[in-house]
């Protein structure tokens, strides 16, 4: 079974810059790319760092630039996962612009650590909405997790511990992403609280 349901001519192993048909080799290159992107962007964090659509595209580009020609670009195919259809590729520019206007632009530049409630709510909104939009052909979850960790680090928090993600919590995570279609971010907030 393929990772996503896409057009019939799309295969599990995407055309890649490695010219590889080895899923393991591609997965290792992707892993190294996301590790590199997170480490590099962590060293560049300042109090002036602004998390916007260009920043998100840059995370994706830095992570996958050596693997895929589409690194840093929005997907051009429609995708679904386990029967759940993500927003259509045709409207991604508009969806991401709305995401920036309605959510990213409203983030505080700095969150007071003693008042964690607002910060966790904003983390949940950003994470759930980005995963719901699923703007990239590959690497959406990893891009969203890197962004989440960078937002946490910028505000003096430790990154989330995704090793706590067992099967039951993962199912809650999937429901939380789907709930963001109705602008309900409470399920994602509950998931995030369990990953500290």
Residues serving a catalytic function are 134
Joined tokens for residue 191: 């998931």
Three-class DSSP labels, 136-185: CCCCHHHHHHHHHHHHHHHCCCCCCCHHHCCHHHHHHHHHHHHHHHHCCC
Nearest residue to 137 (alpha-carbon basis) of 62, 191, 86: 86
Joined tokens for residue 182: 């109705």
Nearest residue to 73 (alpha-carbon basis) of 57, 56, 93, 89: 57
């Amino acid at each position: 079974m393929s990772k996503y349901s896409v057009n019939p001519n799309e295969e599990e192993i995407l055309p890649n810059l490695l010219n590889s048909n080895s899923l393991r080799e591609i997965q290792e290159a992707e892993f190294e790319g996301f590790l590199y992107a997170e480490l590099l962007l962590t060293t560049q964090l300042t109090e002036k760092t602004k998390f916007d659509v260009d920043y998100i595209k840059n995370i994706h580009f830095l992570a996958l630039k050596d693997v895929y020609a589409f690194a840093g670009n929005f997907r051009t195919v429609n995708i679904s996962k386990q029967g759940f259809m993500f927003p259509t590729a045709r409207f991604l520019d508009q969806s991401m612009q709305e995401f920036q206007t309605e959510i990213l632009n409203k983030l505080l530049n700095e969150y007071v650590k003693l008042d964690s409630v607002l910060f966790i709510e904003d983390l949940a909104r950003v994470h759930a909405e980005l995963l719901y939009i699923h703007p990239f052909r590959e690497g959406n979850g990893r891009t969203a997790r890197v962004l989440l960790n960078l937002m946490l680090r910028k505000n003096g928090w430790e990154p989330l511990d995704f090793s706590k993600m067992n099967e039951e919590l993962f199912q809650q995570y999937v429901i939380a992403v789907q709930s963001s279609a109705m602008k309900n971010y409470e399920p994602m907030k509950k998931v995030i609280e369990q990953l500290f």
